[in-house]
Structure 1
Amino acid sequence: MSLRLTLLCLLLPLAALASPSPVPPAMPEPAGETAPPPAPRVLLVTTLGEITLELDAAAAPRTVENFLAYARDGHYNGTIFHRVVPGLLVQAGGFTPDLQAKPTRAPVPNEAGNGLSNLRGTIAAARDRGVSDSATMQFFINLADNPAFDRKDETGPYTSGYAVFGRVVQGLDVVDRIAAVPTGSQGPFNGWVPTTPVLIERVQLLEPSTP
Protein backbone atom coordinates (compact mmCIF):
# COMPACT_ATOMS: atom_id res chain seq x y z
CA MET A 1 0.00 0.00 0.00
CA SER A 2 1.42 3.38 -0.93
CA LEU A 3 2.23 5.92 1.76
CA ARG A 4 -0.43 8.26 0.39
CA LEU A 5 -3.17 5.61 0.62
CA THR A 6 -2.07 4.65 4.15
CA LEU A 7 -2.33 8.28 5.34
CA LEU A 8 -5.78 8.62 3.76
CA CYS A 9 -7.04 5.51 5.58
CA LEU A 10 -5.75 6.89 8.88
CA LEU A 11 -7.41 10.30 8.35
CA LEU A 12 -10.87 9.03 7.43
CA PRO A 13 -11.99 8.21 11.03
CA LEU A 14 -10.72 11.59 12.19
CA ALA A 15 -12.70 13.34 9.47
CA ALA A 16 -15.84 11.44 10.49
CA LEU A 17 -15.41 12.47 14.13
CA ALA A 18 -14.82 16.08 13.12
CA SER A 19 -17.99 16.28 11.01
CA PRO A 20 -20.80 18.31 12.65
CA SER A 21 -23.54 16.36 14.45
CA PRO A 22 -26.97 16.50 12.87
CA VAL A 23 -29.00 19.38 14.34
CA PRO A 24 -32.11 18.08 16.18
CA PRO A 25 -35.41 19.50 14.99
CA ALA A 26 -36.57 22.61 16.82
CA MET A 27 -39.03 21.93 19.61
CA PRO A 28 -42.29 23.82 19.32
CA GLU A 29 -42.58 26.68 21.77
CA PRO A 30 -45.04 26.03 24.56
CA ALA A 31 -48.43 27.52 23.87
CA GLY A 32 -49.37 30.51 25.99
CA GLU A 33 -52.31 30.56 28.39
CA THR A 34 -55.70 30.61 26.75
CA ALA A 35 -57.12 34.12 26.77
CA PRO A 36 -60.33 34.53 28.77
CA PRO A 37 -63.47 34.87 26.67
CA PRO A 38 -64.78 38.38 26.00
CA ALA A 39 -67.07 39.77 28.68
CA PRO A 40 -70.74 40.05 27.63
CA ARG A 41 -72.10 43.61 27.60
CA VAL A 42 -75.73 44.65 27.86
CA LEU A 43 -77.43 48.00 27.33
CA LEU A 44 -80.44 48.95 29.45
CA VAL A 45 -82.43 51.76 27.82
CA THR A 46 -84.53 53.37 30.55
CA THR A 47 -86.83 56.38 30.65
CA LEU A 48 -84.09 58.23 32.57
CA GLY A 49 -81.17 57.28 30.31
CA GLU A 50 -78.94 54.42 29.23
CA ILE A 51 -76.96 52.02 31.43
CA THR A 52 -74.25 49.72 30.04
CA LEU A 53 -73.44 46.58 32.01
CA GLU A 54 -70.39 44.35 31.68
CA LEU A 55 -71.06 40.83 32.95
CA ASP A 56 -68.53 38.48 34.54
CA ALA A 57 -69.27 35.05 33.12
CA ALA A 58 -66.04 33.63 34.56
CA ALA A 59 -67.02 34.41 38.15
CA ALA A 60 -70.77 33.80 37.87
CA PRO A 61 -71.47 31.65 34.77
CA ARG A 62 -74.94 30.38 35.76
CA THR A 63 -76.15 33.79 36.89
CA VAL A 64 -74.86 35.53 33.76
CA GLU A 65 -76.41 32.96 31.43
CA ASN A 66 -79.70 33.23 33.31
CA PHE A 67 -79.71 37.02 32.94
CA LEU A 68 -78.79 36.83 29.24
CA ALA A 69 -81.55 34.28 28.59
CA TYR A 70 -84.15 36.67 30.01
CA ALA A 71 -82.60 39.53 28.04
CA ARG A 72 -82.61 37.61 24.74
CA ASP A 73 -86.27 36.72 25.20
CA GLY A 74 -87.23 40.38 25.67
CA HIS A 75 -88.40 39.66 29.21
CA TYR A 76 -87.04 42.91 30.63
CA ASN A 77 -88.57 45.15 27.97
CA GLY A 78 -91.37 47.13 29.58
CA THR A 79 -90.50 46.25 33.18
CA ILE A 80 -89.86 48.84 35.89
CA PHE A 81 -87.50 49.63 38.72
CA HIS A 82 -89.94 48.63 41.43
CA ARG A 83 -87.68 49.08 44.46
CA VAL A 84 -85.56 52.20 44.95
CA VAL A 85 -83.76 52.62 48.28
CA PRO A 86 -81.48 55.70 48.27
CA GLY A 87 -77.98 54.97 49.48
CA LEU A 88 -78.54 51.22 49.12
CA LEU A 89 -79.85 49.82 45.82
CA VAL A 90 -82.22 50.06 42.87
CA GLN A 91 -84.01 46.82 41.93
CA ALA A 92 -85.77 45.79 38.72
CA GLY A 93 -86.63 42.98 36.36
CA GLY A 94 -89.80 41.42 37.71
CA PHE A 95 -92.80 43.71 37.34
CA THR A 96 -94.82 45.65 34.78
CA PRO A 97 -95.78 49.30 35.44
CA ASP A 98 -99.04 48.16 37.07
CA LEU A 99 -96.97 45.89 39.37
CA GLN A 100 -98.01 42.63 37.73
CA ALA A 101 -95.36 39.96 38.22
CA LYS A 102 -93.85 38.50 35.07
CA PRO A 103 -93.40 34.71 34.69
CA THR A 104 -90.07 33.22 35.72
CA ARG A 105 -87.85 30.34 34.78
CA ALA A 106 -86.44 27.88 37.29
CA PRO A 107 -84.14 29.49 39.87
CA VAL A 108 -80.37 29.27 39.57
CA PRO A 109 -77.80 28.29 42.23
CA ASN A 110 -76.49 31.14 44.36
CA GLU A 111 -73.00 32.06 43.09
CA ALA A 112 -72.21 34.50 45.91
CA GLY A 113 -68.75 33.95 47.34
CA ASN A 114 -67.24 34.04 43.83
CA GLY A 115 -64.72 36.74 44.73
CA LEU A 116 -66.93 39.64 43.59
CA SER A 117 -68.17 41.96 46.31
CA ASN A 118 -71.32 44.08 46.39
CA LEU A 119 -69.56 47.36 45.69
CA ARG A 120 -71.05 50.56 44.31
CA GLY A 121 -72.00 50.09 40.66
CA THR A 122 -72.09 46.30 40.70
CA ILE A 123 -75.12 44.30 39.59
CA ALA A 124 -76.29 41.34 41.68
CA ALA A 125 -79.01 38.71 41.52
CA ALA A 126 -82.01 39.41 43.76
CA ARG A 127 -83.54 36.44 45.57
CA ASP A 128 -85.78 35.42 48.44
CA ARG A 129 -84.02 36.51 51.64
CA GLY A 130 -84.52 33.16 53.31
CA VAL A 131 -83.79 30.86 50.34
CA SER A 132 -80.23 30.82 49.03
CA ASP A 133 -80.84 29.23 45.61
CA SER A 134 -83.90 31.25 44.61
CA ALA A 135 -82.64 33.88 42.14
CA THR A 136 -84.66 34.13 38.93
CA MET A 137 -85.31 37.28 36.88
CA GLN A 138 -84.82 40.17 39.32
CA PHE A 139 -81.56 42.06 39.80
CA PHE A 140 -80.31 45.07 41.69
CA ILE A 141 -77.56 47.64 41.24
CA ASN A 142 -75.67 48.68 44.35
CA LEU A 143 -75.73 52.42 45.04
CA ALA A 144 -72.97 52.10 47.66
CA ASP A 145 -70.50 49.55 48.92
CA ASN A 146 -72.73 46.94 50.59
CA PRO A 147 -70.49 44.31 52.21
CA ALA A 148 -73.47 43.12 54.26
CA PHE A 149 -74.78 41.58 51.01
CA ASP A 150 -71.67 39.41 50.56
CA ARG A 151 -71.51 35.76 51.60
CA LYS A 152 -70.46 35.21 55.22
CA ASP A 153 -68.38 32.39 56.65
CA GLU A 154 -70.70 31.79 59.56
CA THR A 155 -73.96 29.89 59.21
CA GLY A 156 -77.39 31.48 59.48
CA PRO A 157 -80.50 32.32 57.49
CA TYR A 158 -79.07 35.51 55.92
CA THR A 159 -75.41 34.65 55.39
CA SER A 160 -75.61 33.10 51.91
CA GLY A 161 -75.05 36.45 50.25
CA TYR A 162 -76.23 37.91 46.95
CA ALA A 163 -74.30 36.93 43.82
CA VAL A 164 -72.58 39.78 42.02
CA PHE A 165 -72.35 39.02 38.29
CA GLY A 166 -71.22 42.26 36.66
CA ARG A 167 -70.85 46.02 36.93
CA VAL A 168 -72.01 49.27 35.40
CA VAL A 169 -69.37 50.53 32.95
CA GLN A 170 -71.39 53.47 31.62
CA GLY A 171 -74.41 55.27 33.01
CA LEU A 172 -73.78 55.20 36.74
CA ASP A 173 -75.11 58.77 36.72
CA VAL A 174 -78.36 57.35 35.34
CA VAL A 175 -78.47 54.85 38.21
CA ASP A 176 -78.07 57.76 40.64
CA ARG A 177 -80.86 59.60 38.82
CA ILE A 178 -83.13 56.60 39.35
CA ALA A 179 -82.14 56.56 43.03
CA ALA A 180 -83.29 60.17 43.38
CA VAL A 181 -86.89 59.69 42.19
CA PRO A 182 -89.67 60.12 44.78
CA THR A 183 -91.07 56.83 46.08
CA GLY A 184 -94.10 55.62 47.97
CA SER A 185 -96.14 52.55 48.84
CA GLN A 186 -97.98 50.74 46.06
CA GLY A 187 -99.61 47.33 45.99
CA PRO A 188 -97.63 44.85 48.12
CA PHE A 189 -94.58 47.14 48.28
CA ASN A 190 -94.08 49.42 51.25
CA GLY A 191 -92.41 52.73 50.63
CA TRP A 192 -89.89 52.09 47.87
CA VAL A 193 -91.86 52.16 44.59
CA PRO A 194 -91.18 55.21 42.35
CA THR A 195 -94.33 57.34 42.18
CA THR A 196 -93.51 57.99 38.52
CA PRO A 197 -92.55 54.64 36.97
CA VAL A 198 -88.95 54.28 35.78
CA LEU A 199 -89.30 51.97 32.80
CA ILE A 200 -86.77 49.68 31.13
CA GLU A 201 -87.85 50.36 27.57
CA ARG A 202 -85.59 47.74 26.04
CA VAL A 203 -82.52 45.63 26.72
CA GLN A 204 -79.93 45.22 23.96
CA LEU A 205 -77.03 42.78 23.83
CA LEU A 206 -73.85 44.57 22.73
CA GLU A 207 -70.57 43.36 21.28
CA PRO A 208 -68.57 41.66 24.05
CA SER A 209 -65.67 43.50 25.67
CA THR A 210 -62.24 42.05 24.87
CA PRO A 211 -60.10 41.57 28.01
Structure 2
Amino acid sequence: MKVFVMAMLLLAAACAKKDESATRVVMETDAGAVTLELYTDKAPATAANFLNYVDEGAFDGSHIYRATREDNDPSIAIVQGGLWRAWEDGLDADYTPPLPPVVHETTEATGISHTDGVISMARVEPGSASSEWFINVGDNPSLDYGGARNPDGQGFAAFGKVVDGMDVIRNINAAPTREGDDFAGQILAEPIEIKSVKRVQ
Protein backbone atom coordinates (compact mmCIF):
# COMPACT_ATOMS: atom_id res chain seq x y z
CA MET A 1 0.00 0.00 0.00
CA LYS A 2 2.82 2.37 0.92
CA VAL A 3 4.52 1.66 -2.39
CA PHE A 4 1.28 2.46 -4.25
CA VAL A 5 0.80 5.72 -2.35
CA MET A 6 4.40 6.73 -2.98
CA ALA A 7 4.03 5.98 -6.70
CA MET A 8 0.87 8.10 -6.88
CA LEU A 9 2.60 10.99 -5.12
CA LEU A 10 5.53 10.83 -7.53
CA LEU A 11 3.13 10.76 -10.49
CA ALA A 12 1.24 13.76 -9.14
CA ALA A 13 4.49 15.64 -8.63
CA ALA A 14 5.62 14.87 -12.16
CA CYS A 15 2.30 16.04 -13.60
CA ALA A 16 2.42 19.23 -11.56
CA LYS A 17 5.94 19.94 -12.78
CA LYS A 18 4.90 19.36 -16.40
CA ASP A 19 1.91 21.67 -16.08
CA GLU A 20 4.03 24.34 -14.43
CA SER A 21 6.56 24.40 -17.26
CA ALA A 22 4.03 24.17 -20.11
CA THR A 23 3.05 27.48 -21.70
CA ARG A 24 0.36 27.59 -24.34
CA VAL A 25 -0.87 30.48 -26.43
CA VAL A 26 -3.78 30.75 -28.85
CA MET A 27 -3.33 32.69 -32.05
CA GLU A 28 -6.63 33.86 -33.50
CA THR A 29 -6.32 34.60 -37.21
CA ASP A 30 -8.63 35.42 -40.10
CA ALA A 31 -8.03 31.86 -41.27
CA GLY A 32 -8.80 30.19 -37.92
CA ALA A 33 -7.30 29.54 -34.50
CA VAL A 34 -3.89 27.97 -33.83
CA THR A 35 -2.74 26.74 -30.41
CA LEU A 36 0.99 26.70 -29.71
CA GLU A 37 2.88 25.04 -26.87
CA LEU A 38 6.11 26.88 -26.09
CA TYR A 39 9.12 24.97 -24.77
CA THR A 40 10.09 27.39 -22.01
CA ASP A 41 12.33 24.75 -20.43
CA LYS A 42 14.28 23.77 -23.56
CA ALA A 43 14.51 27.20 -25.24
CA PRO A 44 14.01 29.66 -22.36
CA ALA A 45 15.39 32.81 -23.98
CA THR A 46 13.60 32.34 -27.31
CA ALA A 47 10.27 31.38 -25.71
CA ALA A 48 10.52 34.32 -23.29
CA ASN A 49 11.16 36.69 -26.20
CA PHE A 50 8.02 35.47 -28.00
CA LEU A 51 5.98 35.74 -24.79
CA ASN A 52 7.19 39.31 -24.24
CA TYR A 53 5.59 40.24 -27.56
CA VAL A 54 2.45 38.29 -26.63
CA ASP A 55 2.13 39.94 -23.21
CA GLU A 56 2.58 43.41 -24.69
CA GLY A 57 -0.15 42.69 -27.26
CA ALA A 58 2.36 43.43 -30.02
CA PHE A 59 1.19 40.55 -32.23
CA ASP A 60 -2.46 41.68 -32.11
CA GLY A 61 -3.17 43.05 -35.57
CA SER A 62 0.02 41.64 -37.07
CA HIS A 63 0.08 39.26 -40.04
CA ILE A 64 1.18 35.96 -41.50
CA TYR A 65 2.63 37.18 -44.79
CA ARG A 66 4.92 34.55 -46.31
CA ALA A 67 4.51 30.97 -47.53
CA THR A 68 7.27 28.80 -48.96
CA ARG A 69 6.54 25.48 -50.65
CA GLU A 70 7.70 23.36 -53.57
CA ASP A 71 6.60 25.82 -56.27
CA ASN A 72 8.54 28.79 -54.84
CA ASP A 73 11.24 27.23 -52.62
CA PRO A 74 11.90 23.52 -53.16
CA SER A 75 14.10 23.23 -50.06
CA ILE A 76 11.69 24.23 -47.25
CA ALA A 77 7.97 24.64 -46.52
CA ILE A 78 6.94 27.21 -43.90
CA VAL A 79 4.57 30.05 -43.15
CA GLN A 80 6.10 33.20 -41.68
CA GLY A 81 4.55 35.96 -39.62
CA GLY A 82 5.24 38.80 -37.22
CA LEU A 83 5.31 42.58 -37.19
CA TRP A 84 7.26 43.15 -40.40
CA ARG A 85 4.97 44.37 -43.18
CA ALA A 86 6.88 42.58 -45.91
CA TRP A 87 4.22 43.13 -48.58
CA GLU A 88 4.60 46.92 -48.51
CA ASP A 89 6.63 48.83 -51.10
CA GLY A 90 10.33 48.20 -50.66
CA LEU A 91 9.60 45.27 -48.32
CA ASP A 92 9.24 47.78 -45.45
CA ALA A 93 13.01 48.29 -45.45
CA ASP A 94 12.89 50.73 -42.53
CA TYR A 95 11.32 48.21 -40.12
CA THR A 96 12.85 48.21 -36.64
CA PRO A 97 11.57 45.68 -34.07
CA PRO A 98 10.21 47.17 -30.84
CA LEU A 99 12.17 44.84 -28.55
CA PRO A 100 15.89 43.95 -28.53
CA PRO A 101 17.02 40.86 -30.44
CA VAL A 102 17.34 37.58 -28.57
CA VAL A 103 20.39 35.38 -28.05
CA HIS A 104 20.55 32.52 -30.56
CA GLU A 105 19.59 29.14 -29.04
CA THR A 106 20.62 26.49 -31.56
CA THR A 107 18.77 23.24 -32.14
CA GLU A 108 21.95 21.48 -31.03
CA ALA A 109 21.59 23.15 -27.62
CA THR A 110 17.81 22.79 -27.28
CA GLY A 111 17.24 19.44 -28.95
CA ILE A 112 14.23 20.86 -30.83
CA SER A 113 14.34 19.92 -34.51
CA HIS A 114 12.47 21.69 -37.29
CA THR A 115 9.77 19.08 -37.71
CA ASP A 116 6.17 19.49 -38.83
CA GLY A 117 4.38 22.16 -36.77
CA VAL A 118 7.46 23.45 -34.92
CA ILE A 119 7.66 27.25 -34.52
CA SER A 120 11.02 28.95 -34.85
CA MET A 121 12.55 32.41 -35.17
CA ALA A 122 13.41 34.10 -38.45
CA ARG A 123 16.79 35.82 -38.45
CA VAL A 124 19.64 37.19 -40.52
CA GLU A 125 22.76 36.84 -38.36
CA PRO A 126 22.83 34.61 -35.24
CA GLY A 127 21.49 36.70 -32.38
CA SER A 128 19.43 39.00 -34.62
CA ALA A 129 16.02 37.30 -34.21
CA SER A 130 13.33 39.56 -32.79
CA SER A 131 9.67 39.73 -33.79
CA GLU A 132 9.52 37.47 -36.86
CA TRP A 133 8.77 33.75 -36.58
CA PHE A 134 7.83 30.85 -38.82
CA ILE A 135 5.99 27.54 -38.53
CA ASN A 136 7.25 24.45 -40.34
CA VAL A 137 4.95 22.64 -42.75
CA GLY A 138 6.52 19.19 -42.87
CA ASP A 139 10.06 18.42 -41.71
CA ASN A 140 12.81 20.91 -42.60
CA PRO A 141 16.14 19.48 -41.37
CA SER A 142 18.10 22.07 -43.36
CA LEU A 143 16.94 24.65 -40.80
CA ASP A 144 18.59 22.80 -37.90
CA TYR A 145 22.08 23.41 -36.55
CA GLY A 146 24.55 22.29 -39.19
CA GLY A 147 21.89 22.48 -41.91
CA ALA A 148 22.53 23.89 -45.35
CA ARG A 149 19.94 26.69 -45.31
CA ASN A 150 22.28 29.28 -43.75
CA PRO A 151 25.97 29.52 -44.71
CA ASP A 152 26.90 30.07 -41.05
CA GLY A 153 25.60 26.59 -40.17
CA GLN A 154 23.96 27.78 -36.95
CA GLY A 155 20.41 27.05 -38.07
CA PHE A 156 17.36 28.72 -36.60
CA ALA A 157 16.06 28.84 -33.03
CA ALA A 158 13.05 26.54 -32.61
CA PHE A 159 11.04 27.05 -29.43
CA GLY A 160 7.60 25.43 -29.58
CA LYS A 161 5.05 23.52 -31.63
CA VAL A 162 1.50 23.74 -32.95
CA VAL A 163 -0.69 21.43 -30.86
CA ASP A 164 -4.01 22.38 -32.46
CA GLY A 165 -4.88 24.11 -35.73
CA MET A 166 -2.22 22.71 -38.03
CA ASP A 167 -4.93 22.49 -40.69
CA VAL A 168 -5.12 26.30 -40.56
CA ILE A 169 -1.37 26.55 -41.12
CA ARG A 170 -1.50 24.14 -44.06
CA ASN A 171 -4.32 26.13 -45.66
CA ILE A 172 -2.31 29.33 -45.31
CA ASN A 173 0.75 27.64 -46.79
CA ALA A 174 -1.30 26.66 -49.84
CA ALA A 175 -2.79 30.14 -50.35
CA PRO A 176 -1.88 32.17 -53.46
CA THR A 177 1.30 34.21 -53.37
CA ARG A 178 1.80 37.37 -55.36
CA GLU A 179 3.89 37.54 -58.49
CA GLY A 180 7.18 39.37 -58.51
CA ASP A 181 10.69 39.09 -57.17
CA ASP A 182 9.96 39.84 -53.52
CA PHE A 183 11.12 36.74 -51.66
CA ALA A 184 10.94 34.98 -55.04
CA GLY A 185 7.15 35.12 -55.11
CA GLN A 186 6.68 33.90 -51.52
CA ILE A 187 4.69 36.86 -50.15
CA LEU A 188 1.01 36.00 -49.71
CA ALA A 189 -1.30 37.78 -52.13
CA GLU A 190 -3.56 38.48 -49.16
CA PRO A 191 -1.66 38.46 -45.85
CA ILE A 192 -3.54 36.76 -43.01
CA GLU A 193 -4.37 39.07 -40.12
CA ILE A 194 -3.55 37.83 -36.62
CA LYS A 195 -6.37 39.22 -34.51
CA SER A 196 -4.81 38.30 -31.19
CA VAL A 197 -2.27 36.06 -29.47
CA LYS A 198 -3.07 35.25 -25.83
CA ARG A 199 -1.72 32.98 -23.14
CA VAL A 200 -4.10 30.22 -22.15
CA GLN A 201 -1.78 28.29 -19.80
- When normalised by structure 1's length, the TM-score is 0.75
Structure 1's 62 and 193: CA in aligned 2 closer, same or farther, altered over 3 A? same
Aligned-pair Cα RMSD in Å? 2.6
Structure 1's 78 and 187: CA in aligned 2 closer, same or farther, altered over 3 A? farther
Q: Secondary structure at the match of 2:200?
A: strand
Q: Secondary structure at the match of 2:167?
A: helix
- Correspondent of 1:77 among 60, 65, 85: 60
1:81 to partner: Cα distance: 1.2
> Structure 2: which amino acid aligns with 1:81?
I
Q: Give, in whole Å, the separation in 2 of the partners of 1:95 and 1:200.
A: 13
2:104 alignment partner in structure 1: 110
Q: Give, in whole Å, the separation in 1 of the partners of 2:122 and 2:190.
A: 22
Asked if the contact 2:114–2:140 (Cα under 8 Å) also holds between the matched residues in 1, the reply is: yes
**Number of residue-to-residue matches in the alignment:** 175
> Structure 2: which amino acid aligns with 1:94?
L
Asked if the contact 1:51–1:170 (Cα under 8 Å) also holds between the matched residues in 2, the reply is: yes
Q: Secondary structure at the match of 2:152?
A: coil
After TM superposition, list the pairs within 5 Å mapping 1:140-151 onto structure 2: 140-151=134-145
> Structure 1: which amino acid aligns with 2:44?
P
1:205 to partner: Cα distance: 0.9
Q: 4+ residue runs of structure 1 moved beyond 2 angstroms?
A: 31-38, 94-104, 185-190
Identical-residue share of aligned pairs (%): 34
After TM superposition, list the pairs within 5 Å mapping 1:30-49 onto structure 2: 35-36=17-18, 37-49=20-32
Structure 1's 194 and 98: CA in aligned 2 closer, same or farther, altered over 3 A? closer
2:3 alignment partner in structure 1: none
Structure 1's 105 and 186: CA in aligned 2 closer, same or farther, altered over 3 A? farther
> Structure 1: which amino acid aligns with 2:97?
P
Instruction: Judging by fraction of residues, say which structure has more helix.
Output: 2
- Rg larger for: 1
> Structure 1: which amino acid aligns with 2:116?
R
> Structure 2: which amino acid aligns with 1:119?
T
- When normalised by structure 2's length, the TM-score is 0.78
* Structure 2: gaps of 5 or more residues: 1-5, 71-76
Asked if the contact 1:42–1:203 (Cα under 8 Å) also holds between the matched residues in 2, the reply is: yes
* Structure 1: gaps of 5 or more residues: 1-28
